[in-house]
Amino acid sequence: MGVCRDSPHGVIFTLPAKSPLTAIVRGVGRNRISVAISVVMVGFALATLYHLLRGIDVGKVITALQAQSGVRILIAGALVVAGYANLVFYDLFALHTIGKRHIPFPVVAFASFTSYTIGHSLGAATLTCGLVRFRVYSFWNVSVVDIAKIAFMTGMTFWLGNVFVLGIAIADAPQALSVIDHLPPWLNRAIGLSGLFSILCYLIWLVPRPRIVGRANWQIVLPNLRWTFLQIAIGTTDRCLASLSIYMLLPHSPATGFVTIVVVFVIATMLGAVSHTPGSLGVVEAAILIGLPQYPREQLLAILLTFRLLDFFLPLLLATTMFGLRELRLLARPRKASAPTLPGTL
């Protein structure tokens, strides 16, 4: 367990010493308990999907796919692109925090897109994203320890954004969560407000002096108050763009507020992230089908298939192609020229 102690630089939370690779693997949570939880979640999701999709009319699904608006698909696709572009700021923020500010923007953009896309498609995102990042950033004097720090900071950005967006959305539309957890709206509103209160407490905790986690070369100085607001904004933008992209695919009738979609979609993606399943496949779909019962199942399934194509399969195809071409280019270089030497080189 960690130990808190005072230092001239602020409060330090010391962690047990571990090898870099062990620490990254620990970040994935692949111990017996987390594996068991993942298996249970995936099993429950598959059982739920079977129950929800049993007896579904495939012909109606095809008809719903054909009836979708091309303009709305294009808008949703543009929002997906904007969401992936926003992921660059996850890495930029993390690199700035750990003092690795010398890496050219094109390299950061390439690393963030390929690591998130390939890593999340394989599952165990903390480990797989870290491996792809290390392959790219290692040419720029970024160590395995630095990769673990980047994973820590990007994870913080993701979860701060989730808690902030979900807190506001649930406080405004608690009934949207009641459809999923079957708790009374007043209790769900209290849960949303408690999430916002926890962020407020964290912000207040940052005010007096610098806060440092880790020890020795594992130390990370947490962002100050101003930079934490930026961190929350990055995570919030990510969650809003992703929610808006699927919102654009939904039909006008029955009318469903954007805040409701935010609650359902963010809960679904959070469950998918915790499950560690490749691409969160099955988990996200089950949660959305449960959370949006007002739509015909065939119509909602068609929307989910379109969203998966835009948000998962096409980006995965592009990222895999880009990463593969980069590796082939590196293999084709002479050994002495295998590392990038010019700014902006991938």
276's CB contacts (< 8 A; 6+ apart) are: 28, 29, 30, 34, 38, 123, 124, 125
Residue 39 pLDDT class (50, 70, 90 cuts): low
pLDDT by residue (tens digit) across 249-289?
A: 998 888 899 999 999 999 999 888 887 777 777 788 888 99
Contact assessment for residue 285 and residue 49, using Cβ atoms and an 8 Å cutoff: yes
pLDDT higher than 80, residue 227: yes
Q: Please give the pLDDT value at position 48.
A: 64
pLDDT by residue (tens digit) across 59-74?
A: 888 888 888 999 999 9
Distance from C-alpha of 247 to C-alpha of 87, rounded to nearest angstrom: 20
Measured in residues, the chain has a length of 346
143's CB contacts (< 8 A; 6+ apart) are: 20
pTM for the full predicted model? 0.82
pLDDT higher than 80, residue 293: yes
